[in-house]
Amino acid sequence: MDTDAPHVLVVDDDPTARDVAMRMLRRLGVQSAGAHDGEAALQLVKSVPFAAVFLDWELPDSPGSVVAQRLRELKPELPIIGLSGYSPEDTNSSIFDLYLTKPVTTSDFARALKRVHVPLKTD
């Protein structure tokens, strides 16, 4: 993996979904890290310069909207992309820069990252 590649955080309490998302992101030439809950995500964001965060709507310790608000307080410029099996109309998706409805494909991740100006290896 290119050490200059952008670093993206995937926050999802489902280990399979998190691992699959991270693999898809690596295929796009993006370094990825994972967190299983909001608190772990906040700790990682404090220490790693992420280019974007993919954040699940439902987490075991706190709703995704609350975690997103705390992330905004820490890093106002950090793009936050919501992930959920619910449609945006069923959630408070306005806290996110973008919102993806699961299941998400590699192409969905690529389009989202391009929309928040994260460079991909295909650029």
pLDDT at 121: 78
* Average confidence (pLDDT) per 10 residues, the chain, 123 residues: 87 97 97 98 98 96 94 97 75 80 96 96 64
pLDDT of 87 reads 64
Q: Is 121 helix (H, G, I), strand (E, B) or coil?
A: coil
Q: How far apart are CA 116 and CA 91, in angstroms?
A: 21
For residue 75, the model assigns a pLDDT of: 97
Q: DSSP states of 53-81 as a string?
A: EEEES--SSS-HHHHHHHHHHH-TTS-EE
Beta-sheet strand order (sheet of 98-101)? 31-35, 7-11, 52-56, 80-84, 98-101
- Give the chain's domains with CATH numbers: 7-115 (3.40.50.2300)
Q: What integer pLDDT is reported at residue 10 of this predicted model? A: 99
User: CA-CA distances (angstroms) from residue 26 to 33, 36, 44, 97?
Assistant: 10, 18, 18, 22
